[in-house]
Structure 1
Amino acid sequence: MLQVRHLAKRYLNTPVFSNVSLDVAPGEFVAIVGESGVGKSTLLNCMAGLDSWDEGSVQLNGQDLDTLSDDARALLRRRHVGFVFQAFHVLPHLDVAQNVALPLLLLNQPDDARVKAMLDAVGLNGLGARLPQQLSGGQLQRVAIARALVHRPSLLLADEPTGNLDPATAALVMDALIAQTREQGASMVLVTHSEAAAARADRRLHLSASGISA
């Protein structure tokens, strides 16, 4: 469902990575590790069509992202991709339930029952009316997980989702992330520095400037 072929990215004349090829099968959990600055987050953004690349191709659900307009890419992401980021990116003026509901509202598919079910699934039952500033870091990350999965995407992209959390909380967040992607049959690509998180993946890949390897 995700195919990356011979992908290369440069900033001006400085290579970030080159010759990156990988497939992510439906329901598969792939972890990508590598040194800081090697372009892991940039690669994740390319997989979603959020960033451009200089060589190669990315196909998502059979669609070549290079052939799509910006609007068409945005619609594809809205329907089929979920994001979980290290910095949570919840909106402070919305309560927890409203934050989680955003992807459904963007698709014109409001569903309070589904929002409540997702909050229950990630261990936030009863907290829908709270504002983000009333939550802990681990709770905020679980809000981000619920928001990323509430519209049932086929692909979840997670960029250092446990990087700001202590080890015990990080393990709980990974439990929720893995349980929900498995339940929904979603594929997941996780970028991480955490060996503990990477060890839980079906497959672990190492990104370097010259490419990607097992």
Structure 2
Amino acid sequence: MNLHIHNLGKRYGNTPVFANVSLTVEPGEFVAIVGESGVGKSTLLNCMAGLDTWDSGTVHLDGTDLGLLDDDARALLRRKHVGFVFQAFHVLGHLDVAQNVALPLLLLNTPDDARVQAMLDAVGLNGMGNRLPQQLSGGQLQRVAIARALVHRPTLLLADEPTGNLDPTTAAKVMDALVSQTRAQGTSLVLVTHSQAATAHADRVLHLRGDGIAVN
């Protein structure tokens, strides 16, 4: 998926978050975004998927202007084409691992147990499909989140500090799984992070500032 952002600006009331943000992410490209705390990195990520609103500029996904879509249309686009991985995992505790991973397929009315199992194998969770989240480590939970985000084969994956809660060794394993699977699927990846180890995998590293974005 081609993601194109042009002169994006965001404010909370009278307080500017960022302005004049322009960037393009090509199909299959891995772009890391870094910046100081509070500069709006997570907000920018949410704008990319139409989860948040903006005050100026445009966001296009494969030529579709998200600003012209209503909430239902944005939700449908995300459901089909976008995956998310967050720092806090957001795994549902009352569902087992396989059921958590299967959720995007169920929302699309395309259940596929074989695809779920293949994703679990791909991220190193073979044999853990029947376990509950409370039986897993932090690194395993993040791999569940990665498998869930990629099982419906999105064209764009957005990841917000996916290794922020993990120790360095586990973080490296999680990043390896994330990068290998996005590369294998040809998925565009936009990663917000403070981790230099994570940015080392990226094709490009961009620095978000209040007045725009620049090559780091």
Q: Which amino acid letter does the alignment assign opposite residue 39 of structure 2?
A: V
Q: Distance in 2 between matches of 1:104 and 1:198?
A: 30
SS in 1 for 2:207: strand
Shift of 1:61: 1.6
The superposition leaves residues 88-108 of structure 1 with CA deviations (integer Å, 9 ceiling, x where unpaired) of 000000000000000000000
Q: Distance in 2 between matches of 1:6 and 1:193?
A: 24
Which consecutive aligned stretches of 4+ in structure 1 deviate over 2 angstroms post-superposition? none
RMSD: 0.3
How do residues 96-175 of structure 1 correspond to structure 2 at under 5 angstroms? 96-175=97-176
Report what 1:178 is aligned to: 179
Q: Distance in 1 between matches of 2:37 and 2:30?
A: 22
How do residues 22-33 of structure 1 correspond to structure 2 at under 5 angstroms? 22-33=23-34
Question: What is the identity percentage for the equivalent residue pairs of Structure 1 and Structure 2?
Answer: 80
Report what 2:203 is aligned to: 202
Q: Distance in 1 between matches of 2:142 and 2:149?
A: 10
The superposition leaves residues 33-64 of structure 1 with CA deviations (integer Å, 9 ceiling, x where unpaired) of 00000000000000000000000000012100
Q: Distance in 1 between matches of 2:186 and 2:201?
A: 16
**Structure 2: unaligned runs, 5 residues or longer:** none
Q: Which amino acid letter does the alignment assign opposite residue 112 of structure 1?
A: D
Shift of 1:200: 1.2
Report what 2:43 is aligned to: 42
Total equivalences in the alignment: 214
Q: Distance in 1 between matches of 2:100 and 2:176?
A: 21
Q: Which amino acid letter does the alignment assign opposite residue 188 of structure 1?
A: L
Report what 2:92 is aligned to: 91
**Structure 1: unaligned runs, 5 residues or longer:** none
Q: Distance in 2 between matches of 1:11 and 1:69?
A: 21
Q: Which amino acid letter does the alignment assign opposite residue 177 of structure 1?
A: L
| TM-score (norm. length: structure 2) | 0.99
Q: Which amino acid letter does the alignment assign opposite residue 77 of structure 2?
A: L
Q: Distance in 2 between matches of 1:195 and 1:208?
A: 18
Q: Which amino acid letter does the alignment assign opposite residue 116 of structure 1?
A: Q
Q: Distance in 2 between matches of 1:61 and 1:83?
A: 18
Q: Distance in 1 between matches of 2:116 and 2:29?
A: 25
